[in-house]
């Protein structure tokens, strides 16, 4: 089913409403949205940082990471790479609304403005565009599963949910996945921190037993939280992908600044020792964990 414009205002913006300085290309349907846009524009927009597929391949963890994404049901995001555009981010979050249907989550809907048009998406339409798993019944995540995985990964119990440092996770694949969550997928103002949501999503792939999480609901809830907060925004790459549904073409190439840095792998957490070199000159590395607390699953 094709995405629909909302019935409230299917036309383009109201030209009687003046543009915001610096964002003259953005049109507004209502004065209230213009005011919200001005408030959103005071927030820092951080470039979303996606997986660097070349780096993963050189480190010989690309297959494992791809499998993690597949088990969670977000395979399409593994190869997703988009530049972040602040004007799209501000336009989206200044107009975002999430309406739940208590009787049938399939009727949940989000409304927003993007590319100077009022838009609306059902959850099923959103799931189709992002390639996420679909569930006929609403699901919630089990935070206890996240607590257990955190203990196994770090050797520490969760004490303060607001201070889960990604740096405590030594396993390279798990750490990179949590970096992806904080830098893009479930973007955090402080990208060195993770949240129990992120850990629960990862638990779906590495712990046996937990029910599959409803990623779409988690994303929509996080969109709503970001829209009503005042801190930096780190989900812009997902908004760019959403804009492609309405014909937007990303004109800028991805650079290393839009990819997750793996410098920590080489300098802090792991001692990588070249075991041999391939005929093409690529180094094959053996992983050797430094003598710190390390819990294996």
Instruction: Give me the pLDDT at residue 251, please.
Output: 79
Calpha distance 230→225 (Å, rounded): 10
Mean pLDDT calculated for residue range 90-113? 92
For residue 19, being part of any structural domain is answered with no
For residue 195 the two structure tokens come to 């949240």
For residue 26, being part of any structural domain is answered with no
Instruction: Give me the pLDDT at residue 168, please.
Output: 87
Cα angle at 143 between 138 and 147, to 5 degrees?
155
Instruction: Give me the pLDDT at residue 51, please.
Output: 86
For residue 106 the two structure tokens come to 């399939």
For residue 234, being part of any structural domain is answered with yes
Domain count, the chain: 1
Q: Note the pLDDT tens digit of each residue in 124-144.
A: 999 999 999 888 877 776 788
For residue 276, being part of any structural domain is answered with yes
Containing domain of residue 261, as a range?
Answer: 31-135+182-189+214-285
For residue 7, being part of any structural domain is answered with no
For residue 160, being part of any structural domain is answered with no
Calpha distance 168→164 (Å, rounded): 8
For residue 258, being part of any structural domain is answered with yes
Q: Note the pLDDT tens digit of each residue in 69-82.
A: 999 999 999 988 89
The answer to whether the predicted template modeling score (pTM) of the entire model surpasses 0.75 is yes
Q: What residues have CB less than 8 Å from 121, skipping those under 6 apart?
A: 3, 4, 109, 110, 129
For residue 277, being part of any structural domain is answered with yes
Calpha distance 150→203 (Å, rounded): 9
Q: What residues have CB less than 8 Å from 174, skipping those under 6 apart?
A: 153, 202, 206
């Amino acid at each position: 089913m094709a995405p629909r414009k909302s019935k409230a205002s299917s036309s383009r913006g109201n030209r009687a409403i003046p543009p915001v300085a610096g964002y003259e290309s953005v049109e507004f349907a209502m004065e209230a949205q213009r005011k919200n846009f001005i408030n959103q524009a005071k927030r820092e927009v951080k470039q979303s940082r996606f997986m660097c597929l070349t780096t993963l391949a050189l480190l010989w963890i690309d297959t494992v990471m791809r499998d993690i994404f597949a088990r969670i049901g977000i395979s399409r995001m593994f190869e997703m790479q988009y530049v972040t555009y602040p004007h799209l981010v501000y336009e989206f979050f200044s107009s975002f609304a999430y309406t739940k249907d208590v009787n049938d989550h399939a009727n949940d809907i989000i409304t927003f403005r993007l590319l100077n048009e009022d838009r609306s998406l059902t959850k099923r339409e959103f799931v189709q565009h992002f390639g996420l798993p679909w569930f006929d019944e609403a699901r919630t995540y089990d935070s206890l599963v996240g607590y257990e995985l955190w203990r196994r990964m770090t050797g520490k119990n969760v004490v303060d949910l607001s201070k889960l440092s990604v740096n405590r996770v030594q396993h390279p694949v798990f750490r990179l996945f949590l970096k992806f969550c904080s830098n893009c997928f479930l973007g955090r103002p402080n990208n060195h921190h993770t949240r129990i949501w992120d850990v629960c999503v990862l638990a779906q792939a590495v712990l046996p037993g937990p029910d599959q999480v409803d990623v779409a609901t988690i994303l929509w809830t996080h969109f709503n939280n970001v829209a009503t907060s005042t801190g930096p925004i780190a989900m812009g790459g997902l908004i760019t992908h959403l804009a492609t549904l309405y014909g937007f073409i990303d004109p800028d190439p991805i650079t290393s600044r839009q990819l997750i840095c793996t410098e920590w792998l080489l300098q802090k957490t792991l001692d990588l020792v070249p075991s041999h070199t391939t005929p093409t000159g690529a180094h094959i590395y053996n992983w050797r964990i430094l003598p710190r607390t390390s819990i294996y699953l």
